[in-house]
Amino acid sequence: MPTIAKSDSHQTVITTFEMTPGTCQDLLDLLTAAYDEFISKQPGFIAAGLHVNDAQTRIANYSQWQRREDFQAMLRSEEMRARNRKINELCKSFEPVMYDVAATFN
């Protein structure tokens, strides 16, 4: 389970994907398969979640990793590079951004 805490040493990555409603489900299927078959099995992976807006024009992906280098290694792997080429065909854009937790609220 992802935990959001300022004291966490984990690396948080938020990726946004922009697509058309016609490709949303296909993209969601590719992302789900990537997590099920590959990403979740990589060293340092903690957890992730996929979120779809109601217009089906954006997917937001929240993931946590033990270390920044773990995420970078997964992203640079041949398998993920091949998957990202297919993902790129289904969306207008996608951008993974690494974040540090600045504050949390309960």
Task: Count other Cβ atoms within 10 Å, centred on residue 13.
Answer: 20
**Average confidence score pLDDT of the chain:** 92
Please, which contacts does 74-80 make with residues 24 or more away whose CB atoms are closer than 8 Å? 74/39, 74/42, 74/44, 74/45, 77/42, 79/38, 80/34, 80/38, 80/39
Q: How confident is the model at residue 102 (pLDDT cuts 50, 70, 90)?
A: confident
The candidate with the shortest Cα–Cα distance to 86, out of 31, 14, 16, is: 31
- At 1 the pLDDT is 62
pTM of the model: 0.90
Report the C-alpha gap between 65 and 71 in whole angstroms: 6
* pLDDT higher at 79 or 95: 79
21-43 pLDDT, tens digit per residue, is 999 999 999 999 999 999 999 99
Tokens of 17: 């994907």
Residue 3 has pLDDT above 80, yes or no: no
Q: For residue 4, is pLDDT > 90?
A: no
Domain residue limits, the chain? 11-99
Q: Supply angle C-alpha 70, 73, 75, rounded to 5.
A: 110
Return the number of other C-beta atoms located less than 10 Å from residue 59's C-beta: 20
Taking domain 11-99, whether its CATH number is 3.30.70.100 is answered by yes
pLDDT given at position 106: 74
CA distance 21 to 55: 7
pLDDT band at 7 (very low <50, low <70, confident <90, very high): low
